[in-house]
Amino acid sequence: MHLHEWETYLEPYLSQIQLLGEIPLSREQHAELEIELEKWIRRYGLTQATRNFGTHFPAVFVTYLSFKAAFNDERSFWDKVAEAFEIDHVAIFHPNHHWGRLFREIIQQYPNLRDFRNEFEEGYINPIRLHGGIPAYSLADFFQHILLPSVQKPPYKDLEDGRALEELLNHYTAELFVDDVVRHFFQYGGEPAQRFFSKCRQMAREAVQGNPIPDAATLGIRPYVVQAFEHFWQNRAELSIRRRLPRLYFDPYAPGLNIQLPAQPISSEEQSRYVCFFWRIRLVDSTQPVGEEGTLRLRVRRSGSEVHTDEVSYQPETLAPYAEISFVGQSEEGNETTLFKRSLRLLPSSEVPVFAFRYRDNSACSLNPVIPAETLWLFYPADAELLFSGSVHEVEHLHPFPPPLDNWQSQAWDLRNASLIRLQRQGQDVCPPLPVRWTQEPKIVGILLPQSLPIEEKPVYLGSPGLELPVHDFEHLESELSRWKIHLQSRFAANPQGKWEYSAGDFPGENVPENNVVRLSLHKVLGEAPCGTFHLTIQRGNSFQAELPFRVLPSSIQVEDLHPYYLPDWQGAKDVQFSIRLPEGFSLSLLEDSEAEIQNIGDRWQINVPAEDEQVALQIEKPTEKEIIRVPFKIEIPHLKWSLELISGKPREWQDKPLSLSLAKILQSDNPRLFLKIPSAMELDIVELHLTDDNENETLQVQPPQQTYQRELVFQLNAFHDTLRSHSRASILYFILKMQFNEQSIELPVLQAHRDLNIQKCEIEILQNRGRRLHWFEPEPLRQRYVRIWGLWQPWSDPIQIPVPDDLSPSTRHNEPGWWQMDIPKEYSLPPSQYRLQFVAMGRYDLQDPPPRPPENSILIEMVSPPQRLDEIEEQLQIHPQRSFALHLEKACIYHSQKNASQLNHEIQWLCSNWSSAPLRLLYFLQDWLAEIDPSSRKAILLNMFRKETLLRLQQDSDKNFVQRYLDLVVNARTLNPESAYLVTGMSKNPLVMLRALEVLIKNSDSRGLDILQNYLQQGKISEEGAANVLLANPEFSFPFLREMPDSPIRWRLLGFFSAKHSCPDLVVHKGYWVLSDAGWGKIVKIEGSSSNDYFLLEKEKPRLHIVLREEETREETSIAEEATIDLEANELSFIGRNAGQICTKCKRFITCKGIIAWERHRHTTQHQYDTFPIVFPYKMTLPLRFSVHSPQDVFSDKE
């Protein structure tokens, strides 16, 4: 851009900000601006150019200087300015063109800009620097390495603000990782910089506690800082516990805001401690709740050896600025533990009242530091308007929102050619302008496994993928590429295995520049047939870091007969079959508990996916010499689906079978809508919705879709209201979709509207032939009905569902008109008892099984009174003693229905005492029933359910699904003897149950547990982390096993998890351990080049260690601590920033560059005479290293 364009771009900011650093200007943009200023000075001379800067380009001038100050230190600022324009820096202070004075004059023209009057009295550099502040592009560096450690890590979190900042800036990590811009600001910013840190620290403390972040006005800091921190905090994963953060999505057509709650990994420790997990969502305004609170109980699933919760979503019914979201575990005793807590902003802040959402997937998109130049939903106040710089196109305009969103509006805009967005109300800017810019980031590109969905956000590629890096300066491509650092590491079992580190300029193979990016192929690193999980970390200086995990399979793998979409028929979706061809030595298995089936035919693996599944989780396995490589993934099965909305704003539930709804509910809804979701690869020619009478088989009304949104069609059902009212006496009306697709006509019933069944009177007659006859009152009988029957005193029996004939006989028991009867078929046995009945109308397309429990509005039927049935049971106990357990269980149910506590307790005691005679299914039902009414007795039943003799009976059961459900209760049993545990290990398929049984064996020092654990690990049935936790139940017994275990990647990872809680420094060394080297005692603060950044294996790995010698001395006024590296591969020691040092010739265990003070401390500790010898770095070490978990008594000692 020319200077005039730069001024047009920057000038709108000056009236809306207080600090020039609020302008989102990158280093690259600043360099471009500097070039344009240099051209102007060269063309017009310094004097005339300076006048022009004051009159025509004031925004350009002050912005340039403030950011130049931010990017340079105090001493060299004016020299750097002069050097950029090839002028003498003295000329800058000439009275005719004094740049410092001109900066101040321009600042004073804008009352909103801070003038730092007191600072100007001492010179010009500091106020210019303070205006630069910490620019938006450098804030993440400040948050990561200064701010968060100050509130999270000891000892800094307990220090007062000034001391904490000083300590962090003096710490070695500030030199290694913190951007110069941040350090310059705090080193030279004086009191204003100190105040800024204190206010930011208050903000960070609220965030780490899971509370809403206060607004900018409350904190007293600028909105751009709060906005940047919110973005940073929301996109910063909890890596240590692998927590995935809640996300905000926009539902433009509901309309509403959805909170997406990702699947959360569950550790083996959490599995054993908690019986259930749930999300708790509380809407808050600042820190005050607004009333709405939601709880979402989660299903826990197994994926191979990993365990995780389901992904769910939550749509708030009311509006609030924040949602306070907690991930909670609940113990068997009902105690709750908050495992994870975050606050998520739900509405834009008052300072910048705009949200942006990506049009392609409706996900939230940050405004900080710039808005990406793509198609976005912009969500902003209804009384405001948007003004754009550049060319934009409105893609979609939404109608005014209903409450509670009626104060907001949204449109979708194509911003690819926009440069700036201004939000105005009555002609006045509401907030600083929002810059729009292309925001290319590194990404992995390659051939994805067809229709695969990533697991744990790791996409699956066929063959080695490539890496695309954005390039800003193609003229200096080599220099540009050298700034990118690439770290590639295999995870778990993989081919190849290893860790590789390059700069982009040194990356193996050729780089291909095109369209502002350079593509690097990973083929040279990963080889011809890569397989496994890999983790790619990309760094660009200290200002950018991205983690790109991925999985890869050999390119020879083929997916066959998998269609891009599947259409349901009149009965709903159908099973889907497809195949995967694998190379020799590979195999395929199901990853999760599923009804899907796999059949192997040669190199072809055929997968059958049930109709109700939208995806299938699979795992490809490749055995190697030492372990098995596993690549998990999901295959998407896209179906045509629909959803009915009666209440605006409710989350949609997608179906592929006809919905059934009462006619009254449709007519009572103000705005009923039917949504049709179309698979992305399907292009429909004609779509119409037909209303038909099922009995008469005629079309009553036809409507086309009223609206089209992305891949959704919307039908307004209120257009059918008049027709529905005129046919309200029809039993069932159908809404049928008729579509034309590829010259093929498709008809699908999507909604059944039926009249409500008003049946309140019902009886069961016992006939002389012991048959049963049903009588009921129904003045206007309908067709297509069913009766459902639930037994109340034998609730373990499945409910029954019987069709009701359309041709009915009048009741022989009641003469009143409207009474009807039917004989219950003899195959349905209804012994004298209490039942609940429900009549339902179901069309031919929506037959459903009855739910396990009766609804509240069902009809109570008493065929016999409780006392009569109890008498009958007593007689049957004498006649059929073999049925004693079932009969006593029925008695308990009767007493429970009568609320007879004493008799109920008596029966429960009998059942607990006679558990051994119980059929296993009744025993399973009993524990489930007791969970609600008598938890303590349930514990006794669970104890007996897992005795050896009971488990031997379970082994003979042919119902494998029941066996697994039964065994899953092991996690609820408090005690388990070793013999029972051994039987469980051979029967269960649930990793949690396997680990529980293994833990019992290991605690009892049973060597069988070690053998089984090793087999489980080799087969991938349990995770290494879970296995390590089991071994930690008896570490003295387990450690010899680990020491002697055959060397393999499984053993290495197992040692890593084990040693994190039970130290074994002769095998595994962790970050934070101490090492005694030729230089003395040092604390390991960083490990580079090992399989894990947290530890390394002494037997196998030789990484580079970053150590701080005499680390505990770092907080002394005169610090004697020194930073060094130990290269284990080369056996060399180096001091950071030093070329030479002195070694103690007496002990050869002390090296320093600090001089006499350090030598005096060493001499005082060791009593050695002062005798040193000069050395150069890197220094070849002569003595073996010694590692210790604990710090030495004296860091100046030469002893272990």
CA separation, residue 703 to residues 528, 687, 690 (Å) = 56, 9, 7
Tokens found for residue 1173 = 């010898």
Residue 922: what pLDDT?
Answer: 95
Complete DSSP assignment for 42-86: HHHHHHHHHHHHHHT-HHHHHHHHHHHHHTS-TTTHHHHHHHHTT
Bridge partners, residue 1080, by sequence? 1077
Quote the radius of gyration of the chain (alpha carbons, Å).
Answer: 36
Instruction: Give a yes or no: residue 1199 inside a domain.
Output: no
Query: 121 and 11 in one domain?
Result: yes
Give the contacts of 148 (CB within 8 A, at least 6 positions apart): 204, 208
> Is the pTM here over 0.85, yes or no?
no
Query: 82 and 9 in one domain?
Result: yes
Residue 311: what pLDDT?
Answer: 85
What is the C-alpha separation between 277 and 926, in angstroms, rounded? Answer: 24
The alpha-helical segments, DSSP class H, found in 660-802 are 663-668, 721-726
Q: What is the dihedral of CA 93, 97, 103, 109, to 10 degrees?
A: 140
Residue ending a domain, choose from 861, 895, 920: 861
C-alpha closest to that of 54 among 10, 127, 13, 109: 109
Query: 1176 and 1043 in one domain?
Result: no
Instruction: Give a yes or no: residue 1112 inside a domain.
Output: yes
What is the C-alpha separation between 171 and 154, in angstroms, rounded? Answer: 13
What is the C-alpha separation between 109 and 15, in angstroms, rounded? Answer: 10
Residue 991: what pLDDT?
Answer: 86
Instruction: Give a yes or no: residue 582 inside a domain.
Output: no
Tokens found for residue 24 = 């989102």
Residue 1112: what pLDDT?
Answer: 62
Residue 836: what pLDDT?
Answer: 94
Q: What is the three-class DSSP state of 604? A: strand
Look up the CATH number of the domain holding residue 839. Answer: 2.60.40
Bridge partners, residue 552, by sequence? 461, 532
- Cβ atoms of residues 21 and 70 within 8 Å: yes
The residue with tokens 């049971």 is 873
Query: 933 and 874 in one domain?
Result: yes
Complete DSSP assignment for 1089-1115: SSSSSSEEETTT---EEEEEETGGGTT
Look up the CATH number of the domain holding residue 739. Answer: 2.60.40.10
Query: 876 and 1001 in one domain?
Result: yes
Query: 514 and 456 in one domain?
Result: yes
Query: 881 and 941 in one domain?
Result: yes
Complete DSSP assignment for 885-928: HHHHHHHHHHHHHHT-HHHHHHHHHHHHHTGGGS-HHHHHHHHH
Residue 1117: what pLDDT?
Answer: 46
C-alpha closest to that of 9 among 422, 377, 369, 473: 422
Q: How far apart are the first and last CA of the chain?
A: 65
Around 416, how many Cα atoms within 13 Å sit in the side-chain half-sphere?
Answer: 5
Instruction: Give a yes or no: residue 890 inside a domain.
Output: yes
Instruction: Give a yes or no: residue 585 inside a domain.
Output: no
Per DSSP, 143 falls in state I
Residue ending a domain, choose from 197, 230, 263: 230
Q: What distance lies between CA 129 and its chain's CA centroid?
A: 39
Structural domains of the chain, count: 9
Give the contacts of 304 (CB within 8 A, at least 6 positions apart): 591, 619, 630, 632, 1020
Residue ending a domain, choose from 439, 474, 502: 439
Starting at the earlier edge strand, list the strands of the sheet with 312-314: 247-251, 256-261, 312-314
C-alpha closest to that of 713 among 692, 746, 687, 734: 687
List the chain residues with pLDDT less than 50.
121, 237-240, 1113-1117
Instruction: Give a yes or no: residue 54 inside a domain.
Output: yes
Query: 297 and 264 in one domain?
Result: yes
The residue with tokens 């013999």 is 979
Return the amino acid letter for 31: A
Tokens found for residue 541 = 């200086």
C-alpha closest to that of 782 among 843, 707, 873, 853: 843
- Cβ atoms of residues 281 and 318 within 8 Å: no
Query: 189 and 87 in one domain?
Result: no
The residue with tokens 């055995």 is 623
Write out the residue range of the structural domain in which residue 1097 sits: 1068-1188
- Cβ atoms of residues 477 and 531 within 8 Å: no
Instruction: Give a yes or no: residue 596 inside a domain.
Output: no
Helix orientation angle between 935-945 and 901-913, rounded to the nearest 10 degrees = 10
Q: What is the three-class DSSP state of 829? A: coil
The phi and psi torsions of 1097 (rounded to 5 degrees) equal -95, 120
What is the C-alpha separation between 86 and 49, in angstroms, rounded? Answer: 14
What is the C-alpha separation between 1133 and 1125, in angstroms, rounded? Answer: 6
Give the contacts of 514 (CB within 8 A, at least 6 positions apart): none
Instruction: Give a yes or no: residue 464 inside a domain.
Output: yes
Query: 94 and 182 in one domain?
Result: no
Query: 275 and 199 in one domain?
Result: no
Query: 1078 and 977 in one domain?
Result: no
